[in-house]
Amino acid sequence: MTRLLDTLALRPTDRRPIWVMRQAGRYLPEYLELRSRHAFQDAIRDPKVASEITLQPIRRFGFDGAVIFADIMTPLEAMGVDVTFDPGPRLTPMSLAEIADLPDLDPDRIAHVAETLRLVRREVPEDVTVIGFAGAPTTLLAYLLEGSGSKEYLVLRRAMHEETPELEAAIAKLATSMHAYLGMQIEAGAQVVQLFDSWAGTLPRSILEERVFPAARDTLSDLEAPTIYFAPGAGHALGSMRDVGASGYGVDWRIPIDEAWDQLGPAVAVQGNLDPAVLLTSPDRVHAAVRALIERTAGRPGHIVNLGHGIDRRTPLENVAALVAAVKESS
């Protein structure tokens, strides 16, 4: 058992586990060096390169979790969708009916992710937990309908209000396919899987409860590893989020983590929730923020330290080192 697995099972540990969303990325000079020789999608498709990028932050900082280098859009390729990146995802917008008609995900077309996981699992120290992930149905639906990220997600929000049979079928297609994708990752060595629902927070609570959380629940049900659900900006629906049935929940930086935990309920773990902007300050500030965070969850197992969203590319390395040191000094 690793610290991260124990924490998700609400078992006491010597200290909290720490990893950071987007830890394998552009704030790291060794990542930028590799990326100068490999385009983003080529890096994902080459298990040697992808596993190396996954391991870079583990070697430099000693995080407790290694999150596999890929994107939430990667598995859509195995459903016949063409995606490019600039730097975010770009694709030809699709209708709900077209999404519902996509072929089911073909694991053979995405075997490189499984191979990356096997390589990472072989290479990481025993106390480091390998983390797989997928995009949640609603968030993938947002990209497929809109064709890219968006400020308001009006196409998504309109579709959600229209309540058509095509909407239901499109969501079911994505839930089934991502369930299979996560199962493949677990079989290949992922010890924990996280479901990213990055744009769910744009939706009203009623729709989250009726559509979004059930779709996430279907995606995560009956997997043979603990699960984490992360829906930043969905603080207005924490009280019903546990219906997703995950082992743990990511909490964004907007709400004190203990308040979020009270709303989520005592039977689940929490992950978060330092403001990524804290990592743009100084090592002293980072230490103080970690101490304050840990105080809020004191006396109760089940807290994974992380940021409230992805790490910013302008983050100074010394502040990341300070974050890990501050967590490792605590008990």
| Closer CB to ligand CP3, 43 or 270, in the complex | 43
- Rounded least distance, CB 59 to ligand CP3, Å: 14
Active site residue 143: yes
Cα–Cα distance measured from residue 168 to residue 160, given in angstroms and rounded to the nearest whole number: 9
CB of 77 to ligand CP3, least distance (A): 13
Sign of CA dihedral 191, 192, 195, 196: negative
Token pair of 13 as six digits = 């540990």
Residue of closest CB approach to ligand CP3: 88
The verdict on whether 22 is a catalytic residue reads yes
Query: Which structure tokens are listed for 288?
Result: 């103080």
Of 2 and 198, CB closest to ligand CP3: 198
Judge whether 172 and 114 are in contact, CB under 8 Å.
no
Of 15, 46, 60, 71, the catalytic one is 71
Q: Indicate the residue among 138 and 262 with the shorter CB distance to ligand CP3.
A: 138
Q: Which of 4, 135, 133, 128 is nearest to 66 (CA)?
A: 128
* 5 token code pair: 């697995």
| Residues making contact with ligand CP3 (CB under 6 A) | 21-26, 40, 67, 69, 71-72, 85, 87-89, 133, 149, 196, 198, 310, 313
257: how many CB neighbours lie within 10 A of its CB?
22
Query: Among this protein's residues, is 26 annotated catalytic?
Result: yes
Of 15, 26, 217, 242, catalytic = 26
For residue 40, the minimal CB distance to ligand CP3 (Å) is 6
CA-to-CA separations, 298 to 267, 278, 291, 306, in angstroms, rounded: 16, 21, 10, 16
Helix or strand (DSSP H, E) at 157: helix 154-162
Which position among 22, 205, 254, 285 bears the catalytic label? 22
State the nearest-atom distance from the C-beta of 88 to ligand CP3, in Å: 2
- 155 vs 288, beta carbon nearer ligand CP3: 155
Instruction: Indicate the residue among 177 and 198 with the shorter CB distance to ligand CP3.
Output: 198
Q: Which residues contact 36 (CB under 8 A, 6 or more apart)?
A: none
CA torsion angle 105 42 141 206 (round to 10): 110
Minimum CB–partner distance for residue 301 and ligand CP3 (Å): 25
Kindly list the catalytic residues: 22, 26, 35, 71, 143
